[in-house]
Amino acid sequence: MSEAPLLEVRGLKKRFQARQGLFGPKAFVRAVDGVSFSVFPREAFAVVGESGCGKTTLGRLILALERPTEGAVLFEGRDLAALGSGALRRARKDLQVIFQDPYSSLDPRMTVEQIILEPMVIHGLYKGQRAQRLTHLLDVCGIARSHASRHPHEFSGGQRQRVGIARALALDPKLIVADEPVSALDVSIQAQILNLLKDLQQELKLTYVFISHDFSVVRHLCQRIAVMYLGRIVELAAAEQLLNDPQHPYTEALLSAVPIPDPQLSRRRARIVLSGDVPSPLAPPPGCAFHPRCRYARQDCRAQAPALSEARPGHWAACPVAPFAQKPSGAALVSLKS
């Protein structure tokens, strides 16, 4: 892209101290382990992976809610970890979050009006215009104006998530981290919220970092996808390219589990079942962390963790051994396009 990145993540690492057993030795959980990528203005960038892979920790690092052990998060060229408290406070109005659980993320004692206006009061913005701003946010998020005096418990899950979105938009942010924003909702409501997020992105020129475990969700919204496994990005590409031509065995296995509405296509697609459980981040396997579950693993996979390399133009993967080069482009997930 010709524009400068809005967000740059450079060699980001986050380790948490833990203990192996009640009286065991101290150890470190490598929650995020050397992650790098860029997000450009008005882009929806997805981070996908299983539970425990480090997605939420990565989101918290981007929002400066956690300090990195190593590496940097640059927002508009500024290292967030190096900012003083005043500068970081001013930067926070441009960095907002939509949480996974729309009930526990909202204060049950506050009305919808108070929830949406609170960020404006904290940052001292829209003085004399807050009533008009509130009305505008209610309208664009599909919340009836008459509901402004209600409390969160009076709404359904989808309506509560709309309130959470309105609160995230209150300060007119430049970047929104959406952490599994539809995983707690019914499927039909998920579609409504995803369509709302897509419309808001186009209307307000928003940039998203969209965290999810579900490829069928991110394919409707995101332009690029990064796949995480045990704290590392193992594949990164444009959404259509990654969905139809995966270059890493982990991505291939995840995509094979995506439900297909067409029974004939579903029967033709091979289901890849990964052996074993996700290794503990307290004691990750040596070399490539995925090799104990990989059907393409070789002896040298245990020796060194592969770095991301460009498997195809604009398509990066951390696997030098999988025989994807012999596979016709688009063969893996032609069913997802049906």
pLDDT digits (tens, 9 = 90+) for 276-291: 778 888 888 899 999 9
Partnered with residue 107 across adjacent β-strands are: none
Supply the pLDDT for residue 268.
53
* Cα–Cα separations (whole angstroms), residue 231 to 105, 143, 170, 227, 304: 25, 37, 32, 10, 16
pLDDT per residue as tens digits for the range 236-254: 999 999 999 999 999 999 9
The rounded mean pLDDT for the chain is 89
Percent of all residues in the chain with a pLDDT value above 70, rounded to a whole number: 90
* Distance, CA of 203 to CA of 126 (rounded, Å): 20
Which of 114-118, 137-141, 303-307, 327-331 has the least mean pLDDT? Answer: 327-331
Q: What is the DSSP string of 186-230?
A: -HHHHHHHHHHHHHHHHHHT-EEEEEES-HHHHTTT-SEEEEEET
| Structure tokens belonging to residue 190 | 């998920």
pLDDT digits (tens, 9 = 90+) for 192-228: 999 999 999 999 999 999 999 989 889 889 999 999 9
Domains and CATH numbers, the chain: 7-247 (3.40.50.300), 248-338 (no CATH)
pTM of the model: 0.90
Residue 244 Cα to chain centre, angstroms: 20
Complete edge-to-edge strand list for the sheet that includes strand 224-229: 95-98, 175-179, 207-212, 44-48, 224-229, 232-238, 315-317, 309-312
For the cut 50, the answer to whether the pLDDT of residue 137 exceeds it is yes
Instruction: Of 5-9, 324-328, 333-337, give the lowest mean pLDDT range.
Output: 333-337
